[in-house]
Amino acid sequence: MPSLTDVMTADADLTRAPGIRTIAALGAAPENAFAEWLCRMGDNCLILGHRISEWCGHAPVLEEDIALANTALDLIGQTRLWLDLAGEVEGKGRSADTLAYLRDAAQFRNVLLVERPNGDFGHTLMRQFLFDAWHIEMLRALQSSADPRVAGIAAKAAKEVAYHLERSADLVIRLGDGTEESRARMQTALDRLWPYTGELFMGDAVDQAMAEAGIAPDPASLRAAWDSTVAEVMATATLVRPGGTFQHRGGKQGRHTEALGYILADMQFLQRAYPGAVW
Amino acid sequence: MSSEWPLWEVFIRGQHGLHHRHVGSLHAPDAEMAICNARDVYTRRNEGVSIWVVKSSDITASSPSEKGPLFEPSNAKVYRHPTFFEIPSEVGHM
Amino acid sequence: MYAQMVKAEGAKAREEMSEQERAFQDRIDRGEKIEPKDWMPEGYRKTLIRQIGQHAHSEIVGQLPEGNWITRAPTLERKAILLAKVQDEAGHGLYLYSAAETLGVSRDELLAALHGGRMKYSSIFNYPTLTWADIGMVGWLVDGAAIMNQVQLQKTSYGPYSRAMIRICKEESFHQRQGYDILMKMCLQGTPEQKAMAQDAMNRFWYPALMMFGPPDRDSVHSAQSMQWKIKINTNDELRQKFVDQTVPQAEYLGLTIPDPKLKWNDAKGGYDFSEPDWTEFFEVIAGNGPCNTERMEARITAWEDGAWFRKGLMAHARKRDARRAAARLAAE
């Protein structure tokens, strides 16, 4: 049982945080850390793509319905690239589909932010913006990865994500600086989602191993650019950056919110109900 | 005041350097969003490299009753069409 | 079809027509396209608004039964394909609303009529999608039937409608194939359970698919006028026959049984004889008593009402931006 102060410390060093595996626990093999890290990239895309695909047919206006589906399609495409590579690096013959459909929640490595429920359309767009602003910095950095496969996927994905960010930032600005109601809704969304953004920048042993191998940047190094994008957009949107410092964490290590179980129950239903069937 | 988004006409220039071509219309609150929406709606299959949008209400169209006066004179100017001129085959392609 | 039982207005014999109406009919008979600013009889305009509007509504309500399965698609590839397909339906709804808007009605007005129950959408989307095989069946049978109708509508007399149809047909070519592909996988490579799932879907969707073409010609009171105006090219029964003839060999290839003991090749007519669907059921579904009418309308209305703040917010921002730009210009002068 961790002490109360330990749990309550906002920026506790995650490598010392309770329940977080060290590189030794990963079997010390760098390829395990690499596969783990690739799952993080893929799972972020998979779960966020799943979430926004829930809007298809239900968006406030046809144009947005179509636009959001494009983003979802991009993310599902990126999922396949990252998870296929994760399976290849892992070397146990698992494909992107096996990883997506046959792991249980505790094996998922996405950040908690992307599994948060959609809420209203503004909430969905705010979550998208906060993620996109991180995603683009991550992909930019990955284009100079020591692993050419990673650099290749990042180059392709970065083009798509640059557009995602352009759209989500634009809509956050417009809705923030829209009517009183739209501003209030966007502020609420920001306040609720804010405690899920810190995890994007918290490193652990896996991240450390990736940074040392030159495969991926130290997550903390992306913070400054993200902060400045977010500050600029929020200022133009007339929204106020929340003051609290508490941040949730755990998704990257497999400790999720209740929401993920429901997502997987939906997503994996057919594969679980008909084991071994081809579709 | 109505909150219905205005209607925009969308013109797209494809890969092959042809003129912008009218492809359809859509709704958007302003021109910038109309461009974004046009990208998402009308280039889902890689159809274009350049997009124009114009508010439908800003388009002045010829009236069908003037179709005669407007277009028949050019029907008479057959010399505007290359097939009007006979070129001897000896001179090759022109 | 996507436009079932569209009430056509103002049927007139040639001798009853005014000079203007006769000239209009002559243009149609010559195969000319009617364009938005051309003179047209009020009945033509109203009938078209109903038909295109109903067609557009069908596209967006049609997103719902398939959309059901996007989050449950069994592989990442299937998920992407289905999402792209349902997204296309939204696009097709958008093209069709745009075509209707050239007739002097706005999209919001058409949606208000749908939400208020004053306009209809195709009966087929009031049936549930219960299994993944239903997604295959909707692609193969429902899109198959829709494409059959839409191909002929590319030649419809109203320019914007015809152009929308051409674009839609081009984009839809993959829809029916993806449905058939799902069923091939299940029927030809799948387990007995999957095959049974496909047969069950066939049993449930066959007659509702036949109903898509609308009531038999003998009861189709509005067809004559619509055909005279070329906003309908083939009769309901012609299209239904064509659909059955096309579908039977495809079902045989999958090893699925069409749930009709009377289905039999008729040499004399060069087509299949088949049983008619239960038209009482059809009229009940149209009247709002199908298995999913309530859910479909609820989903559409909720999406619209929950999105009101979003649409208003963006409009308000656009007005602010305009005002700021105008002020900046003024200051610069």
DSSP structure string for C77-126: HHHHHHHHHHHHHHHHHHHHHHHHHTTT--HHHHHHHHHTTSS---GGGG
Contacts of C190 in chain A (CB under 8 A): 277-278
> What single-letter amino acid sits at C28?
I
Q: Do B29 and A167 touch (CB under 8 A)?
A: no
Question: A20: pLDDT confidence band, cut at 50, 70 and 90?
Answer: very low
Q: Do A63 and B41 touch (CB under 8 A)?
A: yes
Contacts of B33 in chain C (CB under 8 A): 314, 318
Task: Kindly compute the dihedral angle of the four CA atoms of residues C251, C257, C261, C264, in this order, to the nearest 10 degrees.
Answer: 30
Contacts of A61 in chain B (CB under 8 A): 5, 27
What is the rounded distance in angstroms from the CA atom of residue A134 to the CA atom of residue A165? 9
Which chains border A (3 or more CB–CB pairs < 8 Å)?
B, C
How big is chain C by its Cα radius of gyration, in Å? 22
Q: Do C308 and B7 touch (CB under 8 A)?
A: no
Reported ipTM: 0.94
pLDDT digits (tens, 9 = 90+) for C209-255: 999 999 999 887 778 889 999 999 999 999 999 999 999 999 999 99
Which chains border B (3 or more CB–CB pairs < 8 Å)?
A, C
Question: B80: pLDDT confidence band, cut at 50, 70 and 90?
Answer: low
**Mean of per-residue pLDDT scores for chain C:** 94
**Mean of per-residue pLDDT scores for chain A:** 91
Nearest-CA distance C87 → chain B (Å): 9
Q: Please give the pLDDT value at position C7.
A: 76
Q: Let me know the angle formed at the C-alpha of A58 by A83 and A190, rounded to the nearest 5 degrees.
A: 70
Average pLDDT over residues C109-118: 97
Q: Do C309 and A174 touch (CB under 8 A)?
A: no
Q: Please give the pLDDT value at position A8.
A: 41
Average pLDDT over residues A195-220: 96
In this structure, what token pair is assigned to residue B75?
Answer: 């029907």
pLDDT digits (tens, 9 = 90+) for C23-70: 999 999 999 999 998 999 999 999 999 999 999 999 999 999 999 999
> Residue B53: exposed, middle, or buried by beta-carbon count in 10 A (0-12, 13-18, 19+)?
buried
Q: Please give the pLDDT value at position A11.
A: 42
Q: Which has the higher per-residue pLDDT, B72 or A12? A: B72
Is pLDDT above 50 for A161? yes
Query: Under a CB-based contact definition with an 8 Å cutoff, are residues C194 and C186 in contact?
Result: yes
What is the rounded distance in angstroms from the CA atom of residue A23 to the CA atom of residue A28? 5
* Three-class DSSP category at B10: strand
Q: Please give the pLDDT value at position B78.
A: 63
Is pLDDT above 90 for B66? no
Contacts of C83 in chain A (CB under 8 A): 53, 56, 69, 72-73, 76
C12 contacts chain A (CB < 8 A): no
> What single-letter amino acid sits at A106?
A
Is pLDDT above 80 for A67? yes
Using CB atoms, which residue from A59, A100, A277 is nearest to C191?
Answer: A277
Nearest-CA distance A23 → chain C (Å): 31
Contacts of C320 in chain A (CB under 8 A): 177
Q: Do B36 and A174 touch (CB under 8 A)?
A: no
Is pLDDT above 60 for C191? yes
Q: Please give the pLDDT value at position B16.
A: 76
Q: Do B44 and A61 touch (CB under 8 A)?
A: no
Question: B18: pLDDT confidence band, cut at 50, 70 and 90?
Answer: confident
Q: Please give the pLDDT value at position A243.
A: 87
Nearest-CA distance A60 → chain C (Å): 4
The percentage of residues in chain A with a pLDDT greater than 90, rounded to a whole number, is 87
Q: Do B32 and A170 touch (CB under 8 A)?
A: yes
Q: How far apart are the first and last CA of chain C?
A: 59
Q: Best interface-test mutation with B: which of C314, C320, C324 has the largest number of B CBs within 10 A? A: C314
Is pLDDT above 80 for A12? no
Closest CA to A166 of A244, A70, A272: A70
C319 contacts chain A (CB < 8 A): no
Nearest-CA distance C101 → chain A (Å): 15
Task: Kindly compute the dihedral angle of the four CA atoms of residues A252, A254, A255, A260, in this order, to the nearest 10 degrees.
Answer: 100
B–C: how many Cβ contacts below 8 A?
46
In this structure, what token pair is assigned to residue C66?
Answer: 């398939």
pLDDT digits (tens, 9 = 90+) for B21-40: 999 999 999 999 999 999 99
pLDDT digits (tens, 9 = 90+) for A223-236: 999 999 999 999 99
Query: Under a CB-based contact definition with an 8 Å cutoff, are residues A41 and A82 in contact?
Result: yes
Q: Please give the pLDDT value at position C10.
A: 59
Using CB atoms, which residue from A77, A120, A267 is nearest to C306?
Answer: A120
Interface of C with A in 112-141 (CB under 8 A): 132
Q: Do A67 and B40 touch (CB under 8 A)?
A: yes
Per-residue b/e over A88-123, b at no fewer than 16 CB within 10 Å? bbbeeebbbbebbbebebeebbbbbbbbbeebbbbb
pLDDT digits (tens, 9 = 90+) for C134-173: 999 999 999 999 999 999 999 999 999 999 999 999 888 8
Query: Under a CB-based contact definition with an 8 Å cutoff, are residues A229 and A166 in contact?
Result: no
Q: Please give the pLDDT value at position C13.
A: 81
**Mean of per-residue pLDDT scores for chain B:** 81
pLDDT digits (tens, 9 = 90+) for A21-39: 444 444 445 669 999 999 9
Query: Under a CB-based contact definition with an 8 Å cutoff, are residues C131 and C197 in contact?
Result: yes
* Three-class DSSP category at A208: helix
Q: What domains are there in chain A, each with its CATH number?
A: 4-11+30-273 (1.20.1260.10)
Return the minimum-mean-pLDDT range out of A27-36, A69-78, A256-265, B85-94. B85-94
* Three-class DSSP category at C218: helix
Q: In what order do the strands lie in the sheet with B50-55?
A: B21-27, B7-13, B50-55
Contacts of C312 in chain B (CB under 8 A): 3
Contacts of B24 in chain C (CB under 8 A): 94-95, 98, 163-164, 167
Q: Do A170 and B27 touch (CB under 8 A)?
A: no
Query: Under a CB-based contact definition with an 8 Å cutoff, are residues C123 and C209 in contact?
Result: no
Using CB atoms, which residue from C71, C84, C311 is nearest to A267?
Answer: C71
Q: Please give the pLDDT value at position A193.
A: 98
- Of all residues in chain B, the one with the smallest CA distance to C310 is B3
Q: How far apart are the first and last CA of chain B?
A: 60
Contacts of A62 in chain B (CB under 8 A): 27
Q: Please give the pLDDT value at position A31.
A: 67
Q: Do C101 and B5 touch (CB under 8 A)?
A: no
Contacts of A70 in chain B (CB under 8 A): 40, 44
pLDDT digits (tens, 9 = 90+) for C291-333: 999 999 999 999 999 999 999 999 999 999 999 999 999 998 8
Q: Best interface-test mutation with A: which of B3, B27, B33, B43 has the largest number of A CBs within 10 A? A: B33
pLDDT digits (tens, 9 = 90+) for A237-270: 999 999 888 999 999 999 999 999 999 999 999 9
Using CB atoms, which residue from A57, A64, A101 is nearest to C67?
Answer: A57
Predicted model pTM: 0.91
What is the rounded distance in angstroms from the CA atom of residue A56 to the CA atom of residue A125? 14
Average pLDDT over residues A35-45: 98
Return the minimum-mean-pLDDT range out of A119-123, B1-5, C127-131. B1-5
Is pLDDT above 90 for C273? yes
Q: Please give the pLDDT value at position C224.
A: 84
Q: Do C164 and B24 touch (CB under 8 A)?
A: yes
What is the rounded distance in angstroms from the CA atom of residue C90 to the CA atom of residue C87? 5
Is pLDDT above 60 for A13? no
Q: Please give the pLDDT value at position A6.
A: 43
- Of all residues in chain A, the one with the smallest CA distance to C92 is A62
Count of CB atoms situated within 10 Å of the CB of C167:
17
C321 contacts chain B (CB < 8 A): yes
The H or E element that residue C74 is part of is none
Using CB atoms, which residue from A66, A166, A174 is nearest to B41?
Answer: A66
